[in-house]
Amino acid sequence: TLTIGLLVFAGWPVITQLWVQAKTTALIWILLCMLLGIFPLMPVVGREPNIPLVIATGLLTLLISCSSLSSLCKSKNKYMNNEDLKVQFYQMLSIALSTYVVSSTHDSLQNKQGLPVFNQIISWTTLVSSSLLPLLSPTFLFQRLFSILLSLMSTYLLLSTGYEALFPLVLSGLMFVWINMEQEALQQYGLSLKPKLAVFNFSYATDIMQFRQLHLDDVRRSFFFVSFFVMPFSCFSSFDPASVYCFLTVFSPFMMGGLLVLKVVIPFVLVSCAFEAVQVTTQLSSKSLFLIVLVISDIMALHFFFLVKDYGSWLDIGASISHYVLVMSLTIFMMLMNGLAQLLTTKKLELSRKTKHHST
């Protein structure tokens, strides 16, 4: 069902003026929608680990970040300073270390040598730093979103065993294109901020923005968000203990469960941050757009409520009830992710700098 939905989403630019306005962006949108549509078709249970694919994903992420860093250096962006470049360099280093740890840990376990202590230290350090490094990056739109991607990707690589490692990368690519596509869609209302996106600052958005009235397109934006948000549930619903072998190999249900839940949550954070960017760049109050999301979620919950069965096998009854409970819980989860996205996109930690006092 999700694959069909993504194929429908891929046709969105074709049936609108977007195909004429931004053909290149529309083609990238179609390609990424089709790529993302492959993931729901992949097997979730009973698949073999594919560590070379995880390593390739890490190298691809590193290549993209190197390209981004070089473009920032060449452009001599006046809004970037050396500290900001250092943060991105540290994130690139974290990606490289995560890729190495995945490869090294897999080889060590295959040779029955256990989990190397060095790898375990790197893994836990990466996990802790991934939540802090984005808050040290600039709050300009694409730079902050890319920083969030790199930080979360370094942790996600450590928790990946196969094709799912590519999922956040493809999803984030689609989210970046979505932000640009929404700017193209706003041109018909004369509200596009596309020329200013490069220097758009999350932290000043609420101060400088003049919020507008709701349009019909805002319902579509909310529907897109809900669709992207529920995708990780369907793609990665299994909990494979092998995913946590970079962190620990001794059975610890609570620790393993926490790490596996974190792995599932990461794609939701990426989608929520992208939706936050769509909200502020389309000059719409987050409350207004999120209320539409809640209405769509309630309609979904009502739909699943009428599908609840009180007859048949216990499996059918349990599945129908669990689907309804999940959809009802989705609303609360969305609100939590929305708050986390606002924190990750708008807040910036300032490192204290020591000032030198010269005696006269």
Domain membership of residue 353 (yes or no) is no
What phi and psi, each to the nearest 5 degrees, are found at residue 140?
-65, 145
At 356 the pLDDT is 43
| pLDDT beyond 60 at 355 | no
Contact at 8 Å (CB) between 45 and 238?
yes
Four-CA torsion 87, 93, 98, 99, nearest 10 degrees:
140
pLDDT tens figures, 202-253: 776 655 455 667 777 888 888 888 888 887 776 665 567 888 888 988 888 8
Cross-strand bridge partners of residue 201: 140
Domain membership of residue 198 (yes or no) is yes
Instruction: Tell me how far apart the terminal alpha carbons of the chain are, to the nearest angstrom.
Output: 74
What phi and psi, each to the nearest 5 degrees, are found at residue 359?
-80, 140
Q: Indicate the range of 43-52, 165-174, 291-300, 304-313 predicted with least confidence.
A: 43-52
State the sign of the Cα–Cα–Cα–Cα dihedral 233, 159, 92, 203: positive
Domain membership of residue 14 (yes or no) is yes
Domain membership of residue 357 (yes or no) is no
φ/ψ bin of 124: left (φ > 0), alpha (ψ from -120 to 50), beta (otherwise)? alpha
* Overall number of domains in the chain: 1
d(CA 242, CA 100): 17
Domain membership of residue 89 (yes or no) is yes
Query: What is the share, in percent, of the chain residues with pLDDT greater than 90?
Result: 22
d(CA 169, CA 60): 9
| pLDDT beyond 50 at 357 | no
Domain membership of residue 359 (yes or no) is no
Contact at 8 Å (CB) between 193 and 281?
yes
- Token reading at 265: 């949550």
- Which of the given ranges, 60-64, 190-194, 310-314, has the highest pLDDT on average? 60-64
Domain membership of residue 45 (yes or no) is yes
Structural domain boundaries enclosing 236:
2-346
Confidence of residue 77 (pLDDT cuts 50, 70, 90): low
Averaged pLDDT, 303-323? 79
Helix axes 286-306, 314-346, angle to 10 degrees: 170
d(CA 130, CA 91): 8
**How big is the CA angle at 274 (ends 333 and 132), to the nearest 5 degrees?**
80
Domain membership of residue 354 (yes or no) is no
